[in-house]
Amino acid sequence: MKYSAAFLAAAAMASSASAFTISFYNNCPYTVWPAVGKAPYGSPDPSVAFGQALGAYQSTGFGVADTEIGIRAWGRTGCDGNGANCATGGCNGGLVCTDAGITSGVIVSEYGYADFGAAYGGERTSWDLSIVGLSINLNTKLSVSDGQSVECTSGSCPADQA
């Protein structure tokens, strides 16, 4: 099965100062505009923001400190040359979103660092896919360096996905 956009998060576990990279691969025959933003507890914080036009079958990445919480990443389609006025996944701010995808209305991958206690893995970076606004604009697969993954396609995503 082909995925329109694949998101890969590789967490480096060397120390508390380490970071992880959100890598985007566009598996579409058209341009996709990946975006990253920060919205801890649903409140946009522009201190972490990224946006770029990504041509067909190209890849790019964005580094994030592993202590950040509320990190979101998503793909946008049909944007103008400035990365604004997108057909899907649009946001405030144009190419580099200022609202962390709160207005995107599409599937987003989310990342956060926390201490989950010894019974639940201790200090670690957690990740998931969430449907924002009940819309899947791009089939999405999220994978991490240890081989775990989750995916949502228009027919495979549970209705109660977080």
pLDDT tens digits, the chain, 162 residues: what are they?
Answer: 344 444 333 333 333 344 778 888 888 888 999 988 888 877 888 888 899 999 999 999 888 887 788 888 888 889 998 888 998 888 888 899 888 777 777 766 666 666 667 776 677 666 666 666 656 677 676 666 666 666 666 655 555 444
8 Å CB contact between 26 and 76: no
Give a yes or no: residue 27 inside a domain: yes
Token pair, residue 31, equals 């341009």
Is 28 part of any domain?
yes
Q: Give the total number of structural domains in the chain.
A: 1
Let me know if residue 161 belongs to a domain: no
pLDDT at 6: 41
**CA–CA dist 72, 8 (Å, integer):** 13
| CATH assignment at residue 109 | 2.60.110.10
Residue 159 lies in a domain: no
pTM of the model: 0.73
Domain hosting 125: range is 5-152
pLDDT in the model for residue 148:
66
Q: Kindly state whether residue 160 falls inside one of the protein's structural domains.
A: no
157 part of a folded domain: no
Beta bridge partners of 34: 75
Q: CA torsion angle for 55, 50, 71, 64 (degrees, to 10)?
A: 100
**Is 21 domain-assigned?**
yes
Q: Which two tokens stand for residue 131?
A: 């449907």
Tokens in use for 83?
Answer: 């990365």
Residue 51, φ and ψ in degrees, nearest 5 = -160, 145
Task: State both tokens at 78.
Answer: 């049909």
Do the domain assignments include residue 61? yes
